Chains A and B, each alone.
Chain A
């Protein structure tokens, strides 16, 4: 099914004391002469927190930047939907936080499947992010004294999460978008919105450009540069139903993978515990309710399976606050993977509530009684309104119903300490790379990583690569090969004229992944999915129906191209999940659990990053993980 290749080594990783490594790398990374910077062009694909901040910062440094997004404006990237907050080791609360503690929590939260060096750098840089964002005018929540408010978030025992009501992602993204807009105005960034990257140009072993389609005119164009940065987000939409935006897709990273970039830990996906349950077959996406709600909400199910009484009429004695019962020290604040699986288990056992029994209650009655309705409204008002709009129920009086949903992908393209992929000149930042979250991401850490990569890490490390530039002109044959591939693929999609819509294929693929590569994975299930996916893919290319032509705006053509790539990526996700026979973080293998049903990690066999090479069959390259500053332990939230 796959072959074992040579081990992969992160050659850029600095050594020495943990707290000196980033400083040392910044010093050892070569600088580019300011006069040469304007002769160097960098392509940045995606304008979320990572891409927007990187494009703005690279332009400030003097590079010529080409920025791309598929949305109609760079301000709409899906980072905008992040609700809860952003972690930073400011220790403004004097509650015992520190860079080391944030590092420690992140390595442990990732279940010891991330690199110590990278995570320490992330924690170190986190404090600068808050400073930068405040200076940009990001309206973080403040106390009456005028200082920034923080809260504890998703399992953290210190209050290190900065937030802007339930719209933290939006406000941080607008900060990056505004910095980017300033550089567009200054002529340092050429912005191309409604333009989707469809392939990567590799010439003489280096990433040198992209082939993209203008989604309005349908024209396919080639853009060349000295380096390419992918900031195109995660691949959660492989599951069809997820909390991702409808347009979020994996095409950019998958095409880069096919051109030689290693894909790391594709099976590490995060299922978020607090989402609004599916209401019917028509469902087009799932909506997250920030997990900050678990700070004050209590999760429970009725003690009797098939309970018919409305929640308000179920007395305390007939309720099972199962997270508080199973995990007395963390209670409702256990990490995401644990909360999600507990919800799945309790619903599978027949205690679930709502349509199909796929939901649990998240109850604010105690919080309203303790804090008063105005305080609850101040903290969660917009989330409650959103919930009521979608479900027609008022969470102040009726407990919310929640169920887990696919939310984030820790896996992504393999990168070294410099955030460079295995293709020289191709850098990958934000959710699109695999680097910092191991097998499970902590709450409020995605925004931190996106901005750390874009504002502070990449702009420092990319210089070391660009110091060798400008690179020689790209050979016309390299360009012709890629543009030819793109054109023939579009033609093929349009030529099938079959009888099943791209959405219909996507729905079937998503259900397959959810059932077999979701919250619990088992060998028989994964083998079943691995048998079905190639057949589904073959059927796709025989029966997909794309109407219209490629000469203008054609949303079903866009969709079909994305689904075609999900159909390939899904197979690698299942293969990775099958090969990793341990349980760790968001990856729970039923064959590897403790007697009381907790995840059983296998450090002797699996303390490595699985970096996959595109080939037939795929080739597995292992990067060993070594832990010197945090001792691998079994996570216990009991």
Chain B
């Protein structure tokens, strides 16, 4: 297969960036998108040019490290798929593919396609946990959890923190990310004591970090590789607005 790649190159957070074109013509449909970038980087490096920096680690779609805008879509054309799980068979031979980093104010570019997503860690630190020090736990069967609630919690807990939701949102909102955590913990009995404080603290933190507000555009859930549902945001709003 042969592709023309237009890739965003930027030296660091303060430098100006721009799209540069590269032709790759020695790739096959069974290769992953990132393996194509590996091939390109080997070639660039052989030519004495700096390879394209991009984040990736597990390459199994679970660590959440990879992520780029591919033809304007977070993680590219396949539904419910991280960039690392995207295969070239999803593209048409001869395509021109534009590759850019996540673009959102709280995610500054580090270099090329690498961005700084540490703002997500700050949101979790603000309250995305159950305060239960090691050794303090009752027997695991002490509190049964209805299966439906456990399943809803699990569905939300599947978030990998990749940031696609923010990158896709016209407002640069982190609501789907935050709501995934508050729904995960808020659906379980263990999460009840801190449920409302947690929601308020996490939302206040994301606002302070410069993420935008949610206007229910739904772009987030459309690109989410784990299919976190939009209704989690409804649950978060309810928790934030509830008074005890």
Contact surface of A with B, Cβ cutoff 8 Å: 53, 56-57, 60, 71-76, 78, 80-81, 90, 92, 128, 130-137, 139-148, 164-165, 167, 170-171, 174, 177-179, 181-182, 184-185, 191, 193, 216, 245-247, 279-280, 282-285, 287-288, 386, 389-390, 392, 455-456, 459, 499, 501, 503-504, 545, 547-548, 552-553, 555-556
Q: Would A556 and B190 be within 8 Å (CB), given that A72-B116, A76-B64 are in contact?
A: no
For window 9-43 of B, CB contacts with A under 8 Å fall at 11-12, 27-28, 30-32, 34-35, 38-39, 42
Q: Which residue of A lies closest to B63 (CB)?
A: A76
Which chain A residues lie closer than 8 Å to B48 at the CB level? 547
Confirm or deny: B53 has a beta carbon within 8 angstroms of a beta carbon on chain A. Answer: yes
Of B11, B59, B124, the residue contacting A245 (CB under 8 A) is: B59
Of A135, A247, A459, A556, the residue contacting B132 (CB under 8 A) is: A135
**14 pairs across A/B with beta carbons < 8 Å?**
A60-B133, A73-B121, A76-B65, A81-B60, A81-B62, A137-B153, A181-B125, A280-B31, A282-B31, A282-B39, A283-B35, A288-B60, A389-B81, A392-B89
Which chain A residues lie closer than 8 Å to B124 at the CB level? 75, 177-178, 181
Of A73, A137, A247, A504, the residue contacting B130 (CB under 8 A) is: A137
* Interchain CA distance A247-B56 in the complex, whole Å: 8
Least Cβ–Cβ distance between A499 and chain B, in angstroms = 8
Least Cβ–Cβ distance between B14 and chain A, in angstroms = 11
* Interchain CA distance A174-B57 in the complex, whole Å: 17
* Interchain CA distance A350-B126 in the complex, whole Å: 58
Contact A389 B87 (CB under 8 A): yes
Contact B130 A282 (CB under 8 A): no
Of B64, B125, B140, the residue contacting A148 (CB under 8 A) is: B140
Least Cβ–Cβ distance between A430 and chain B, in angstroms = 16
Which chain A residues lie closer than 8 Å to B188 at the CB level? 137, 139
* Interchain CA distance A143-B132 in the complex, whole Å: 24
What is the 8 Å Cβ interface bit string for chain B, positions 128-167, against chain A (1 contact, 0 not)?
Answer: 1111111111111101111100100110011011000000
Contact A282 B61 (CB under 8 A): no
Known: A76-B58, A80-B62. 4 other contacts (CB 8 A): A73-B121, A146-B144, A181-B125, A285-B59
Least Cβ–Cβ distance between B35 and chain A, in angstroms = 5
Q: Would A139 and B51 be within 8 Å (CB), given that A76-B57, A392-B87 are in contact?
A: no
Contact B157 A246 (CB under 8 A): no
Contact B39 A142 (CB under 8 A): no
Contact B50 A548 (CB under 8 A): yes
Contact B144 A553 (CB under 8 A): no
Which chain A residues lie closer than 8 Å to B49 at the CB level? 547
For window 100-119 of B, CB contacts with A under 8 Å fall at 110-111, 114, 116-118
Q: Would A386 and B50 be within 8 Å (CB), given that A80-B58, A147-B141 are in contact?
A: no
Which chain B residues lie closer than 8 Å to A185 at the CB level? 125-126
Which chain A residues lie closer than 8 Å to B146 at the CB level? 146
Contact B117 A73 (CB under 8 A): yes
Contact B62 A134 (CB under 8 A): no
* Interchain CA distance A57-B143 in the complex, whole Å: 24
Contact A279 B30 (CB under 8 A): yes
Which chain A residues lie closer than 8 Å to B211 at the CB level? none
Chain B residues touching A, range: 35 or more
Contact A246 B45 (CB under 8 A): no
Centre residue among A143, A167, A247, A282 by max chain B CB count within 10 A: A282
Least Cβ–Cβ distance between A244 and chain B, in angstroms = 9
Confirm or deny: B184 has a beta carbon within 8 angstroms of a beta carbon on chain A. Answer: yes
Contact B63 A71 (CB under 8 A): yes
Which chain B residues lie closer than 8 Å to A90 at the CB level? 140
Least Cβ–Cβ distance between A506 and chain B, in angstroms = 12
Centre residue among A90, A171, A284, A288 by max chain B CB count within 10 A: A284
B interface: dominant SS: loop
* Interchain CA distance A319-B46 in the complex, whole Å: 48
Of B46, B60, B144, B154, the residue contacting A139 (CB under 8 A) is: B154
Least Cβ–Cβ distance between A28 and chain B, in angstroms = 19
Which chain B residues lie closer than 8 Å to A60 at the CB level? 133-134
Which chain B residues lie closer than 8 Å to A130 at the CB level? 140
Which chain A residues lie closer than 8 Å to B143 at the CB level? 134
Contact B140 A136 (CB under 8 A): no
Contact A284 B57 (CB under 8 A): no
Least Cβ–Cβ distance between B134 and chain A, in angstroms = 4
Contact B145 A136 (CB under 8 A): no
Q: Would A165 and B145 be within 8 Å (CB), given that A75-B161, A137-B130, A501-B42 are in contact?
A: no
Confirm or deny: B55 has a beta carbon within 8 angstroms of a beta carbon on chain A. Answer: yes
Q: Which residue of A lies closest to B34 (CB)?
A: A284
Which chain A residues lie closer than 8 Å to B38 at the CB level? 282, 284, 503
Which chain A residues lie closer than 8 Å to B126 at the CB level? 185
Q: Would A390 and B87 be within 8 Å (CB), given that A74-B121, A148-B141 are in contact?
A: yes
Of B89, B118, B134, the residue contacting A72 (CB under 8 A) is: B118
Nearest first, the 10 A-B pairs at minimum CB distance are A146-B144, A178-B129, A135-B137, A131-B137, A139-B154, A185-B125, A134-B140, A245-B57, A57-B134, A76-B63
Contact B58 A78 (CB under 8 A): yes
Contact B136 A245 (CB under 8 A): no
Contact B45 A545 (CB under 8 A): yes
Q: Would A555 and B51 be within 8 Å (CB), given that A53-B134, A137-B190, A178-B129 are in contact?
A: yes
Contact A131 B138 (CB under 8 A): yes
Q: Which residue of A lies closest to B185 (CB)?
A: A137
Confirm or deny: B72 has a beta carbon within 8 angstroms of a beta carbon on chain A. Answer: no
Contact A179 B134 (CB under 8 A): yes
Least Cβ–Cβ distance between A418 and chain B, in angstroms = 18
* Interchain CA distance A191-B124 in the complex, whole Å: 14
Contact A503 B144 (CB under 8 A): no
Q: Which residue of A lies closest to B134 (CB)?
A: A57
Least Cβ–Cβ distance between B45 and chain A, in angstroms = 6
Of A81, A141, A178, the residue contacting B128 (CB under 8 A) is: A178
* Interchain CA distance A247-B84 in the complex, whole Å: 14
* Interchain CA distance A29-B116 in the complex, whole Å: 43
Q: Which residue of A lies closest to B120 (CB)?
A: A73
Least Cβ–Cβ distance between A472 and chain B, in angstroms = 31
* Interchain CA distance A499-B153 in the complex, whole Å: 52
* Interchain CA distance A282-B88 in the complex, whole Å: 13
Which chain B residues lie closer than 8 Å to A146 at the CB level? 144-147, 150
Which chain A residues lie closer than 8 Å to B117 at the CB level? 72-73
Least Cβ–Cβ distance between A255 and chain B, in angstroms = 21
Contact A72 B53 (CB under 8 A): no
* Interchain CA distance A613-B109 in the complex, whole Å: 44
Least Cβ–Cβ distance between B84 and chain A, in angstroms = 9
